[in-house]
Amino acid sequence: MFKRTRDVEVLKEIARQVRIDLLKALHHAKSGHTGGSLSSVEILVALYFAELRHDPKNPRWENRDRFVLSKGHGVPALYAVLAHAGYFPREELLTLRKPGSRLQGHPEYDLSIGIEATTGSLGHGLSAANGMALAAKLDKKDIRVYVLLSDGELQEGATWEAIMTASYRKLDNLCAIVDRNRFQNDGAMADIKDIEPLPDKWRAFGWEVEVLSDGHDFAGLLSAFDRARVTKGKPFVIIANTIKGKGISIFENQGKYHGVAPTDEELKLALRELGENI
């Protein structure tokens, strides 16, 4: 039986293994989004190993909490987390981006592997999460819905439609997390179309906002989720300041690793940094 933990050291070790697995999968696939997968690792590990009420052996459990990866391109990290949690064998991670694989380049709705919604086109996930949260309220069910957005995705107008819907509908069973790694496909967001002041924007749209200066710190993530859970009458957003490419020195804050997989050499170096013997 899958058990959640709040032990930070245990979570850190899971995060280390998840990084190793997602990098191996990306390297094997020879393509995919390295930077934005690495920046989301602690958020996803905190969700799946500490926060969400879910059962990897019963992925269709009706009363499970829901998670939508609105930043679908970061799915290698989610696949690695789901595999570690026991949704499917870790070996399957090497089928990433292959024809017929359950682990497609962007997530496709498939409860057998714990994927709750099809995403990848930005600006969809928050609306879908809102629908789930509204349905839970309609059914008077104690289901919480979590959604992870990219910061680049906040340039999509449709995201703001959904942000308005959530606050207007007082979706206090909804928690959004922004993976604020400050890079998008073309480079640094500040050089392309800056989205600051971000906390003010969410507040102005009626959300309760918590800014985490370090979105890789488990203690901070867990306490933010605790606050989100007890906040009533409005939806909750955690703006998690993260580092694109986190954990691997050559990838950190390098915009060019947004959409490329590690080479043989880069993988070797990365695994060494993660303490993995090859």
Partner 1 sequence: MSKSKLSDVVVDEIREHIYIREVYGKTLVELGREYPELVVLDADLTVSTKTSLFGKEFPERFFTMGVSEQDMMATAAGFALSGKIPFASTFAVFATGRAWEHIRQSIAFPKLNVKIVATHAGVTVGEDGATHQALEDIALMRVLPNMTVIVPADAVETEKVIRTIVKHQGPTYVRLARAKFPTIFKKNYEFEIGKAKVLREGKHVAIFAIGIMVYEALEASKILEKEGISAFVVNVSTIKPIDVETIVECARIAGAVVTAEDHNIIGGLGGAVAEVLSEHYPTPMRRIGMRDRFGTSGDGLQLLEYFGLKARNIVQAVHELLEFNSAKKSVSFK
Return the number of the residue (34 or 130) whose C-beta is nearest partner 1: 130
Q: Is residue 101 involved in binding partner 1 (CB under 8 A)?
A: no
Q: Which residue among 33, 124, 144, 244 contacts partner 1 (CB under 8 A)?
A: 124
Interaction residues for partner 1, span 53-82 (CB under 8 A): 66
Which among 81, 99, 98, 101 has a CA at the least distance from the CA of 90?
Answer: 81
Residue 241 tokens, joined: 């300041």
Q: Is residue 103 involved in binding partner 1 (CB under 8 A)?
A: no
Return the number of the residue (66 or 180) whose C-beta is nearest partner 1: 66
The piece of 48-56, 91-99, 117-125, 241-249 that touches partner 1 (CB under 8 A) is 117-125
Half-sphere exposure of 229 (CA within 13 A, CB side): 13
The piece of 48-56, 80-88, 128-136, 204-212 that touches partner 1 (CB under 8 A) is 128-136
H and E: helices and strands count for the chain: 10, 7
Q: What is the rounded CA–CA span in Å between residue 193 and residue 31?
A: 26
In the complex, least distance from residue 262 CB atom to partner 1, rounded to whole angstroms = 28
Q: Is residue 153 involved in binding partner 1 (CB under 8 A)?
A: no
CA distances from 201 to 182, 224, 237 (A): 16, 19, 11
Q: Is residue 108 involved in binding partner 1 (CB under 8 A)?
A: yes
String of b and e for 70-93 (b: at least 16 CB within 10 Å)?
bbbbbbbbbbbbbbbbebbebebb
Q: Is residue 259 involved in binding partner 1 (CB under 8 A)?
A: no
Instruction: Quote the crossing angle between the two packed helices 125-138 and 157-168, to the nearest 10°.
Output: 20
Q: Which residues sit at the interface with partner 1, rule CB under 8 A? A: 66, 108-109, 116-121, 123-125, 127-136, 138-139, 157-158, 161-162, 164-165, 168-169
